[in-house]
């Protein structure tokens, strides 16, 4: 039994709210956060009832990165989160960021005040990111003599140019929302990211869950692929949707001007 829930998950109206719950530590990443957040993410992958996921943090910041003191005090913590069976596998520090890409519904990060280090890389695992105007970001690993190793090599190329990633990695400097928007790190700057995320999630509930699933899958798998592979996936996934009940409901709703119900999303 978990003594303390350092990550919360509540499903309301088909939206999964996943929330960092260490407000006194600026939601820094302890071993328990790694364990609980990954477990929640894995459960959501197979949940066909949800239509969107919203990531957020309680308190004064989204996530301040690794809780170094906590990890050092917990016997075996560093070895546990870094352990891999094969080099190409995901260890815990990578899975906590990349699990959100495997969830077949849109994942929206609602970011406020602070988004540093590991928190930055977790946010980039989301599909869409809203942030407050005063939010501060940093790829902070260089200050500990390290490099980003929480899935950033997968997600950074999708949103930033290589020179931007290198400069931020080399310096570890703090930058704010205006620059983050300019270089593609965040989708929108909004006063209330959580409400904006809820509004978007409610809108997406009106779309075919199959179209959302395969749209996410298509771009995650082809964004950096060659042309032939991309076109192959487009055709494969379009064929998987066309003529199925949810596609017919979407088309019928559009043509008739009435809302037709969707079924649970199909298996990918």
Its domain, for residue 234, covers 209-256
Residue 36 lies in a domain: yes
Whether 239 and 196 map to the same domain: the answer is: no
pLDDT band, residue 264 (cuts 50/70/90): confident
Report pLDDT digits (tens) over 27-41.
Answer: 999 999 999 999 999
Residue 261 lies in a domain: no
Whether 189 and 90 map to the same domain: the answer is: yes
Whether 186 and 216 map to the same domain: the answer is: no
* Inter-CA distances, 208 with 214, 234, 252, Å: 10, 17, 12
What pLDDT sits at residue 3? 59
Whether 181 and 248 map to the same domain: the answer is: no
Average pLDDT over residues 221-229: 94
Whether 192 and 222 map to the same domain: the answer is: no
Whether 194 and 238 map to the same domain: the answer is: no
pTM for the complete prediction?
0.94
Residue 175 lies in a domain: yes
pLDDT band, residue 72 (cuts 50/70/90): confident
Whether 200 and 214 map to the same domain: the answer is: no
pLDDT > 50? residue 26: yes
Residue 266 lies in a domain: no
Residue 11: give its domain's CATH number: 3.90.226.10
Structural domain tally of the chain?
2
- Count of H-run helices and E-run strands, the chain: 12, 9
pLDDT band, residue 268 (cuts 50/70/90): low
pLDDT > 50? residue 12: yes
Whether 40 and 98 map to the same domain: the answer is: yes
Average pLDDT of the chain is: 95
Distance CA 228, CA 108 (A): 30
Q: Order across the sheet with 7-12: list the strands.
A: 7-12, 15-20, 52-57, 107-111, 128-131, 188-189
As given in the structure block, the two tokens for residue 85 are 């069976």
Report pLDDT digits (tens) over 197-207.
Answer: 999 999 999 99
pLDDT > 50? residue 1: no
Whether 155 and 234 map to the same domain: the answer is: no
Whether 139 and 72 map to the same domain: the answer is: yes
């Amino acid at each position: 039994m978990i003594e303390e829930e350092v990550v919360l998950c509540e499903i309301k109206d088909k939206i999964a709210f996943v929330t960092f719950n260490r407000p006194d530590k600026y939601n820094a990443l302890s071993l328990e956060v790694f364990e609980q957040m990954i477990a929640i993410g894995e459960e959501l992958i197979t949940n066909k009832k949800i239509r969107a996921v919203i990531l957020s943090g309680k308190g004064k910041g989204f996530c301040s990165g690794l809780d170094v003191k906590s990890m050092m005090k917990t016997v075996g913590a560093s070895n546990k989160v870094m352990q891999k069976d094969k080099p190409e596998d995901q260890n815990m520090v990578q899975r906590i960021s990349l699990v959100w890409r495997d969830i077949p519904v849109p994942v929206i990060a609602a970011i406020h005040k602070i988004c540093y280090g590991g928190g930055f890389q977790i946010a980039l695992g989301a599909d869409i990111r809203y942030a407050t105007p005063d939010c501060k970001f940093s790829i902070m690993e260089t200050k500990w003599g390290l490099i980003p190793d929480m899935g950033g090599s997968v997600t950074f190329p999708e949103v930033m140019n290589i020179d931007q990633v290198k400069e931020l990695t080399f310096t570890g400097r703090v930058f704010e929302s205006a620059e983050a928007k300019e270089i593609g790190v965040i989708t929108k700057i909004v006063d209330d990211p959580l409400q904006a995320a809820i509004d978007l999630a409610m809108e997406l509930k009106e779309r075919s869950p199959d179209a959302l699933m395969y749209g996410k899958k298509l771009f995650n798998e082809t964004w950096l692929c060659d042309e032939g592979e991309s076109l192959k996936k487009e055709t494969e996934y379009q064929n998987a949707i066309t003529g199925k009940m949810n596609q017919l409901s979407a088309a019928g709703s559009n043509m008739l001007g009435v809302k037709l119900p969707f079924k649970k999303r199909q298996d990918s």
